[in-house]
Amino acid sequence: MGKLIIRGQKRLKGEVTVSGAKNAAVAILPATILSEGSCIIENVPDILDITILKNILTNLGAKIENLNSSTIKVDVSNVSSYVATDSQISKLRASYYLMGALLGKFKRAVVTFPGGCDFGVRPIDQHIKGFEALGAKVDIEHGKVIIAANRLVGAPIYLDVVSVGATINIMLAAVKAEGITTIENAAKEPHIVDLANFLNAMGADIKGAGTDVIKIRGVKELKGGHTYMIIPDQIEAGTFMIAAVATRGDVLVKNIIPKHMESLTAKLQEMNVKVEEFDDSIRVTGRDKIQKVNIKTLPYPGFPTDLQPPSTVLLCRAEGTSTITEGVWDNRFQYIDELKRMGANIKVEGRMAVIEGAVRLSGAPIRATDLRAGAAMVIAGMMAHGETTVSNIECIDRGYEKLEEKLRNLGADIRRVTNEKSKNR
């Protein structure tokens, strides 16, 4: 089990390049199953979730070639099974996209229940509602989701909650269905638009992705043979922007779509941070004093829930008392107990965290409780006085490509220790 050891109080300075979007890549890889033949995907992040997904697809019969460090060729001509019950499936949430993709391809799917970060209950009722509306029968037996349809027929589907996963899964299942499917109250995240663009490049007919009504006209076949580039990772970009402010640094974050960062940019400006936008980069210059703010996380274009943990850490150094209200997940404040070990003064009241600012964090042994909380712990370590050890860092590797290497290039004092026998946290 690896650990990150961080000596804090170093200002981040320089340039960092953001990798391809994890949450787009984890949808686009399963989506390849729907095509005939092969396609080339560029800007694929080198992260653990993608390694696991590649293994799962390979076990289903796909041939995946690494053309370079961020480009892969996926050939699905030999994928002939709709059963995905690999033990690796329960390691990540996004494996639920195999349901939509296999159903769309074979009109059948048997998929082990997905895993992923623990934010309390993570239901899939809206995914199931969508599959059933298209004509499938869905059963859950022995930890597997069993889906079968004689025909898949397009239908209007209204989502009771705005769900990224359900929107994507319904798109995957409906893209080759007969007739028209309309998803109302759809999620609008950038990775939904990216998946729609990927599917349309293969011959799908999807309109409205990025709005709350998505219209999918089913097509008979999705062709392979094209090259597609995944968008930059909005959350990785935001993590570096926050890290720059947290350390009073000056960082140019490159390979970014500034429009995707608007909710964060607005909050940083409200904190009195200097943010300069360029075509595909953003420069963030921290200040010695930043102002308190109130944040509420919401589906896109609202403030992303995945930037909530790093923002909480940052606000520990704001002037005054800030609040963060979690508007997406029931239980996404588990990491706050770890921050308290470093001296943070935060009270959690239901879905709201009240953060006392101007606190001096001191290094401590802490644990990454999940992926984004893990990135937040690293930022806390970089802000703190003294040494911080972050354990359980495998969950950071799930979604951040070479995080410590990128931070080290910006001047952070951070190193990974892999063979430590000590079990103290």
Under the criterion CB under 6 A, does residue 381 sit at the interface with ligand EPU? no
How many residues does this entry show for the chain? 425
With beta carbons less than 8 A apart as the criterion, state whether 241 and 253 touch.
yes
- 117 assigned to active site: yes
Residues 78-117: x where in contact with ligand EPU by CB under 6 A, - otherwise, as a string: ---------------xx----------------------x
Cβ contacts of 336-344, under 8 Å, gap ≥ 24: 336/312, 338/366, 338/367, 338/369, 338/373, 338/377, 339/312, 339/313, 339/366, 339/376, 339/377, 339/380, 341/365, 341/366, 342/366, 342/380, 342/384, 342/388, 344/313, 344/316, 344/380
Q: What share of the chain is helix, strand, coil (3-state, %, to 5)?
A: 35, 30, 35
| From 65-73, 124-132, 242-250, 315-323, span contacting ligand EPU (CB under 6 A) | 124-132
166 touches ligand EPU (CB under 6 A): yes
Nearest-approach distance from CB 126 to ligand EPU, in angstroms: 3
- Asked if 123 is part of the footprint of ligand EPU (rule: CB under 6 A), the reply reads yes
Instruction: Give CA angle at 36 (33, 37), nearest 5°.
Output: 95
Is residue 161 within the footprint of ligand EPU (CB under 6 A)? yes
Residue 248 binding ligand EPU, by CB under 6 A: no
Q: Which of 105, 107, 127, 267 binds ligand EPU (CB under 6 A)?
A: 127
Cβ proximity to ligand EPU, 86 vs 233, nearer residue: 233
Closer of 47 and 364 to ligand EPU (Cβ): 47
Residue 327 or 365 with smaller CB distance to ligand EPU: 327
Stretch near ligand EPU under the rule CB under 6 A, chosen from 6-14, 135-143, 158-166, 193-201? 158-166
Q: Would you list the DSSP string of 29-44?
A: HHHGGGEESEEEEES-
Kindly state the smallest distance separating residue 306's Cβ from ligand EPU, in Å: 5
Contact 228, 31 (CB under 8 A): no
The residues that touch ligand EPU, with contacts defined as CB under 6 A, are 23, 26, 93-94, 117, 122-127, 161, 163-166, 187, 305-306, 328-329, 371-372, 399
